[in-house]
Amino acid sequence: MHPAFSVILLTTLIGAGQGLFLALFTGQLYSSIKLIEAQGADFYAGGSTISLLLLIAGLGASFFHLGRPERAWRAASKWRTSWLSREVIVLPLMMAVVFFYGLFHYIGWTEPFYVAGGGILPIDVTLVLGFLGVVIALALFVCTAMIYASVKFLEEWHSPYTVGNFTFLGMASGFMLAAAFSAYLGNHLVGFYGTWAVIFTLLALGTRTASLLRNATLKHKSTLQTAIGVRHRQIVQKSQGFTGGSFNTREFFHHQSPEFLKLVRLAFLVLVFPLPLFLILISYVLQSPTLPIAAFLVQYLGLLAERWYFFAEARHPQNLYYQSIA
Amino acid sequence: MTQLALVIDLNVCVGCHACVTSCKQWNTSGWAGPMVDENPYGADPTGTFFNRVQTFEVGSYPNTETVHFPKSCLHCEEPPCVPVCPTGASYKREDNGVVLVDYDKCIGCKYCSWACPYGVRELDEMQKVMKKCTLCIDRITDQSLPERERKPACVLACPTSARLFGDVHDPDSEVSVAIRERGGYPLMPEWGTKPANHYLPRQKTRMHISEDELQRADNPLTKEDITVYTGEETIDDVTW
C-alpha cells in the first residue's frame, strides 16, 4: 500500500495523545491511593493540554487524507458497519474527555464526593471522568487498529496483532511522553512513567515481532490464476490496459525498492525499541532531565518509520492486475 | 430479486478496447459530470476509467495463448466495499443489485478502494470522490430509450458480442444460461464476495474426423460388390 503521511501522522499522534492521557490517569489513580507523590493541578492540566494538542493535530492530519474534507461530518453515520465511522465518533469523544479532565483539574474540582474502599480511594469528578476516558481511549485504539485489521484483503493487516501493535505502541509513546513531561517539570514521576513506558514498549516489541514473523511467511490467498480464472502455472501480464499511471498504480504500491523497505524496518526496530529503552534507563541512572525527552522524540521518529513500513508491507491483491504497462 | 450483471466471453474478446472508450465517452458526458483526464496528450497521462481491457499471456512459447481480459466492477452480491464506507455513499441498489457511489456523499477517504480486491474503484482526482462502473445506471433504467438500447454502453459497443448483460438471478435469462451452459466463473472466489459478473472461459474449437468419415463406408454399391480388384478401375471411381 502507498504510505500516506496524513494517516501515518494521524495514527501516531493520536496514539501518543491517548497514551499520555492514560498515563496521566494512571498517575492520578496511583497518587489517590498514596502509592506515588501527588501532583498539582498544573501537572494534569498541562498534560491534558499536550494530549489534546496531539489529538487535534492528528485529527488535522487526517483531513489531508480526505478528498472532500468539508463533508467529513457525514463519516459518523455508518457506525454500525464501518470501523472508520466508529473512529470518527470516538475521537471527538476522546478529545472532549481530555478537555474536561484537564479543565476540572485546572479549576480544582478535585474534592472527593465519596470515599470508597473503607477510606482508601477518594473519588472525585476527575477520577470518574478519567475512568470514562480510559474506556474511550482503549476503544479508540481498537477502532483505529480495526480500520486496518478488518480489511481481509490486506492479509498483512488482517490479524489481532494489528490491534496489539496500535494499542501498545500508542501507550508506549504516551507513557514515554509522560516521563518526558515529568522530567521537563522536574517532578519525581520520571521513574514511574519510565517504568510503564518500558513495560509497554516491551509488550509492543512482542506483538510487532510476532506480526513481522507472521507476515514474513504469509501465503497470499489470491494469485494471478484466481484473478483471471485461468488454470495454468505460467501466466504473465502483457498489458494493464494503459501506458500512463492511474489511481490503481498509485494508491496500492509504495514505489520503493525492497532494500529501502528493509532499511526502514531496521530503522524502526532500532528507534522504537532498544534506543528509547536505553535512553530512559540511562536517564534514570544519571537523573537527567533531558534524556527522557530525547527518548520520546527518538521513539516517535521510530513510530513514523514503523507506520510507514506497516503500510508499505501490505500487499493488495488488486496489484495482480497491474504488473505490466504495455 | 434482480441482480443485473455482465457476462464476459473471453473466448471472443479480441482486446479492441471499444468497451473502454465507449464507457468513458458515455460516462464522461453523463449526469455525474466528467471523468477526469489529466495530460491526455502529454507525456504522463492519467485519468479515471470504469473499465479496462488487460492482456495476459498464458503458457510459454511456442505453447502460448493470449487472453484479453476486460475488467470493471463485478457488482458483488456480498460487496466488501459497501459496509466499510463511513458515510453510506457506497451502496448496493435494492431493486437491481447494482453497486453505486453517491458522489454527493463521498468524502474521498479511499477506504472502499482498499476493501475491493479487484481494484475497480478509482478516485477522481478532480472531483475528489470515488468513482466506479455504474453498469450505465442512467441508461439501463431510462424508460424513454427503446428497450434494445437499455444496455450498458460497453455492451452495445462490443463488436464481437463478448459482453452479455442481464439478470443473473433469472435462471432463464441469456446471462444465466450462458453461465450455466458455458462454464461461467467468478473472479477470486476465495474471498466470498460472490461477484455478479461472470467470465466465460476460452474454448478450443476442434473438429474431429474419423477414418470412416473420409470414405463412404455405407456405399450400398460397395457393399454388394464382392469382386476382388487388383489395380483396374473400380466401381467407386465410376459411380461419382
> Alpha carbon of B22 to those of A80, B25, B51, B153: distances in Å?
38, 5, 10, 6
Q: What is the pLDDT of residues B95-153, one digit of tens each?
A: 999 999 999 999 999 999 999 999 999 999 999 999 999 999 999 999 999 999 999 99
Q: Mean per-residue pLDDT for A196-222?
A: 97
> Is the predicted pLDDT of residue B33 greater than 90, yes or no?
no
The reply to whether residue A153 touches residue B116, judged by beta carbons under 8 angstroms, is yes
Q: What is the pLDDT of residues A72-86, one digit of tens each?
A: 999 999 999 999 999
What is the ipTM score, two decimals?
0.93
The reply to whether residue B45 touches residue A243, judged by beta carbons under 8 angstroms, is yes
Q: Is the Cβ of A186 closer than 8 Å to some Cβ of chain B?
A: no
Beta carbons within 10 angstroms of residue B18's beta carbon: 19
Question: What integer pLDDT is reported at residue A153 of this predicted model?
Answer: 97
Domain boundaries defined on chain A: 5-216+238-322
Q: What is the pLDDT of residues A13-67, one digit of tens each?
A: 999 999 999 999 999 999 998 888 889 899 999 999 999 999 999 999 999 999 9
Q: Is the Cβ of A84 closer than 8 Å to some Cβ of chain B?
A: yes
- Calculated CA dihedral for residues B19, B22, B24, B26, nearest 10 degrees: -130
CA of A48, closest CA in chain B: separation in Å? Answer: 29
* Dist CA A285 CA A192 (whole Å): 14
Of B109, B123, B185, Cβ closest to residue A229? B185
- pTM of this prediction? 0.91
Question: What integer pLDDT is reported at residue B70 of this predicted model?
Answer: 98
Q: Do residues A21 and A70 make contact, with C-beta atoms less than 8 angstroms apart?
A: no
* Dist CA B33 CA B181 (whole Å): 40
Q: Pick the residue of B8, B17, B21, B58 with the most A CBs within 10 A to test the interface with A by mutation.
A: B58
Question: What integer pLDDT is reported at residue B238 of this predicted model?
Answer: 64
Q: What is the pLDDT of residues A151-201, one digit of tens each?
A: 999 999 999 999 999 999 999 999 999 999 999 999 999 999 999 999 999
Cβ-Cβ pairs closer than 8 A, A with B, add up to 174
* Averaged confidence pLDDT in chain B: 92
Q: Is the Cβ of A153 closer than 8 Å to some Cβ of chain B?
A: yes
Q: Which three cell numbers stand for residue A152?
A: 481481509
Q: What is the pLDDT of residues A221-277, one digit of tens each?
A: 999 999 999 999 999 999 999 988 999 999 999 999 999 999 999 999 999 999 999
| Range 191-220 of A in CB contact (< 8 A) with B | none
Using CA coordinates, name the residue in chain B closest to A66: B109
Within 8 A of A66 by CB-CB distance, chain B residues are: 107-109
Within 8 A of B18 by CB-CB distance, chain A residues are: none
Using CA coordinates, name the residue in chain B closest to A151: B115
Question: What integer pLDDT is reported at residue B211 of this predicted model?
Answer: 76
Beta carbons within 10 angstroms of residue A170's beta carbon: 29
CA of B211, closest CA in chain A: separation in Å? Answer: 33
Q: Exposed, middle or buried: residue A134 (CB in 10 Å: 0-12, 13-18, 19+)?
A: middle
CB under 8 Å, gap of 24 or more: what pairs does B62-65 form? Answer: B65/B202
Sign of CA dihedral A76, A80, A81, A83: positive
Q: Pick the residue of B41, B54, B202 with the most A CBs within 10 A to test the interface with A by mutation.
A: B54
SS3 A325: coil
> Is the predicted pLDDT of residue A103 greater than 90, yes or no?
yes
- Residue where the block lists cell 468513482: B131
Q: Mean per-residue pLDDT for B39-65?
A: 94
Q: Which residues of B144-182 are buried (b: 16+ CB within 10 A; e: fewer)?
A: eeeeeebbbbbbbbbeeebbbbbbbbeeebebbbbbeee
CATH architecture type of domain A5-216+238-322: Up-down Bundle (1.20)
Across A115-124, A127-136, A315-324, B52-61, least confident range: A115-124
Of A65, A82, A237, Cβ closest to residue B56? A237
Q: Which three cell numbers stand for residue B28?
A: 464522461
Q: Which three cell numbers stand for residue B46?
A: 492519467
Q: Mean per-residue pLDDT for B213-227?
A: 67
Q: Which three cell numbers stand for residue B80?
A: 466488501
Beta carbons within 10 angstroms of residue A38's beta carbon: 11
pLDDT band of A289, cuts 50, 70, 90:
confident
**What is the percent of chain B with per-residue pLDDT over 70, rounded to a whole number?**
91
**List of E strands, A254-293:** none
Half-sphere exposure of A241 (CA within 13 A, CB side): 27
Q: Mean per-residue pLDDT for B5-16?
A: 97
pLDDT band of B236, cuts 50, 70, 90:
low
> Is the predicted pLDDT of residue B233 greater than 80, yes or no?
no
Q: Do residues A175 and A196 make contact, with C-beta atoms less than 8 angstroms apart?
A: yes
The reply to whether residue A317 touches residue B44, judged by beta carbons under 8 angstroms, is no
Where does B4-200 sit in CATH, by number? 3.30.70.20
Question: What integer pLDDT is reported at residue B31 of this predicted model?
Answer: 80
* Averaged confidence pLDDT in chain A: 95
Within 8 A of A76 by CB-CB distance, chain B residues are: 86
SS3 content of chain B, % helix, strand, coil (to 5): 25, 20, 55
CA of B196, closest CA in chain A: separation in Å? Answer: 15
Question: What integer pLDDT is reported at residue B135 of this predicted model?
Answer: 96
- Residue where the block lists cell 461530518: A73
* Dist CA B109 CA A7 (whole Å): 11
The reply to whether residue B191 touches residue A71, judged by beta carbons under 8 angstroms, is no
Of B67, B89, B106, Cβ closest to residue A228? B67
The reply to whether residue A229 touches residue B45, judged by beta carbons under 8 angstroms, is no
